[in-house]
Amino acid sequence: MTQEQLSPKEKEDAFNRFIITEYLKYGSVDELFRRNDYSLPISYPGVQRLLDKWGIVKAAGPNTRLSEALAFLNELSKEKIPLETLYRNMPPSFRTSMGTLHRILSHIRAGTIRRVGTALVISPRVNPDLVLLGNDVSIPRLEVGKPFGSISLPMGYSRRTESKETSILRVLQQEVFTNQAIERRLSFAQVVKDPTPFMFIDIADVRVAVYNLFLPDWLSGQENFSSFKVQNHRYLHVSEIAAGRRNFRTGITEIGIGYRRFLQEERRNFVLEPILEKSALNVELTLNLALE
């Protein structure tokens, strides 16, 4: 059916889905308008109202994603050169400011937390040992020849004042079930019941709450997963994640180790307080900063 054959209601629905798609693709209302040459027949407040009507959880934290700063800090940890020297070698697409990176380092040095985040360990209900991961393609290679799309759990920034359910739903919409969110087919109750983090991990200046979600059989197939930020969704065994031999994003190996411990204790009917860890990146950068 052509655009001309659509009814006014169908045209409105198609336009609304387009706006929702663009928002989930680009991550902010400002970027949505910029990518469409500021020529959309809808206002900024109109987009905000549509997001609310659609049940889309708006982005939290800075417009630059957590993964970009982490990629930079990983390079800084490996290269052991001044921040300014590495920053000058970043591609034009790199958006995190030097001031932001200096602030992150100062918080790592002091051992303080500036932001909060949410990570999801998603497993099929029939096999808790399997964990859903994908390739984070939201940032470019920082240097030619470096691997593109590090393997990551679904994760992102959260707001301190929001509910756990809201934080989890944002990640699900952006990194796991984007198509369902666009088509308004994602029911939070289908995925989450009484969420409680089994782990907290400090990654850079972010304290990330880690939740374990179990998917029913009809929702656990790889054909259900979609995202503009994460591609090639697949399951890996928790032991493979804990081994850390792949191109995992910062903190993923530590979360794998924590989740394996959580499963072991749960199977022994032990009740544990949430695990609290520091990422290897924080430990390495703290040591490097102490030696300066």
Last residue of a domain, one of 14, 35, 54: 54
Does any domain span residue 38?
A: yes
User: Are residue 146 and residue 244 in the same domain, yes or no?
Assistant: yes
CA angle 205, 195, 271 (to 5 degrees): 90
119 and 205 share one domain? yes
Separation of alpha carbons 227 and 235, rounded Å: 16
* 35 domain residue, yes or no: yes
Mean pLDDT, range 235-259, rounded to an integer:
95
Residues 108-117: what's their mean pLDDT? Answer: 90
Q: Which CATH number do you get for residue 166?
A: 3.90.79.10
Both 135 and 247 in one domain: the answer is yes
Per the structure, the count of domains in the chain is: 2
Furthest CA-CA distance within the chain: 69
Is residue 286 included in any domain, yes or no?
Answer: no
pLDDT digits (tens, 9 = 90+) for 49-103: 999 999 999 998 655 567 778 888 888 888 888 899 999 988 877 878 899 899 9
- What is the domain range of residue 195? 115-279
- Is there a domain that residue 181 lies in? yes
pTM of the model: 0.90
For 153, left (φ over 0), alpha (ψ -120 to 50), or beta? beta
